[in-house]
Structure 1
Amino acid sequence: MRYTPHRRTAPAALALVLFLAPTSALAEKPPVSDQAAEAQDQERHDEMVEKIRMMRMYALTEALELDEATAAKLFPYLRDSDREMASIHQAKRQHRKAFRKMVKDSSYDEKDVERRIAQLYDLDVQLAKTRRDQMVGLKGILSVEQRTRFVLVSARFEEKIHAMIKEERKRRRQQREHRGPKDQGKHRRQHP
């Protein structure tokens, strides 16, 4: 079967939208406390990450035409490197959260800002290295054709995920605006 990216990623995108629908419905519930809200946010985040991971597995299996033996090697390998990248992304989110707090409070410590900026750049370098190492490791699992497709499918999948997340945030923002100013604070959720 000839590889056609749109035909293969469209079902994955549709399934992702269907998976994310229940998650967005949960986001409308007001948190009990800041700690409870943070726990709910983490739970929703973990749920969404797992759903995205499953959709990615499906998209890669289709696009790379993986057999069972290759899939059995590929997905555990990707899961390990994905965990490392997730840890880096989490650290970046924490820095951005600190920056948002500084802006909100109009409180800036120059040394802290400079330190955090430097750490963000270091994390970007670390992320790039992890991605490069992931690709090098794929040489032992995938053929050159599959690695080429992997790069293309991964990039396209990331773009679609980002677009869907952006659209979901836009939808939530419109819902908040529709509810009016007095109701907005009741359902507000902080994004790390």
Structure 2
Amino acid sequence: MKPWPLASRFSPLISPTVKSSVFRRFDTLMEWQECKVRKKVEVPVSVAYGLYSERESIPRWMTFISSVKVLKDKSDLSRWTLKYSAFGQNLEYSWLAKNLQASIASTLFVIPLPNQKIHWISLEGLPNRGTVRFFPQGPSSCEVELTFAYEVPLLLVPFATALQPLMQGMIKDSLELFAEIAKTTKTT
């Protein structure tokens, strides 16, 4: 099943249940592109999770992210800025992201799941969503899996598809740098 655009999750006017052809056409104008990379990191899962949880530190290993600022009044919200030079162009995008609580919902309460998953969705700006999952590999290492998806206009899908190896490479490089930084963090 094709994911609905971000707008459909926040607006009852643009939802899968609306029968209007005007709103259905909106969905066909956008498509999600996804990148997924997994990397072994030679630190305990708690160290990797703790480091990735510090959102304002993410530009240290995601060099195409120029800044992440957590909102002072709402710590689950953060403003992200991406800067990248490609094909002779300086690209800059920003978005407001909401961290979602990784948890198991029971009938009576919600149980947080630390050291397992961090995930987010953009609320405004560049439409994107993602998940960082942490898989223990014994007491002193783990695997980190980053899944990042972004929405592109349907007309640009062939271009975005052609850029998929570039995006995969950027995410792979980021996780490799994260692994190095995490190792250094563990020993300091």
- Sort the TM-score into its range (normalised by shorter chain): 0.3 to 0.5
Q: Which has the higher helix share?
A: 1
Task: Give the TM-score normalised by structure 1.
Answer: 0.32
Q: Which has the higher contact order (CA 8 A, sep 6+)?
A: 1
- When normalised by structure 2's length, the TM-score is 0.32
Q: Specify which structure has the higher proportion of strand.
A: 2
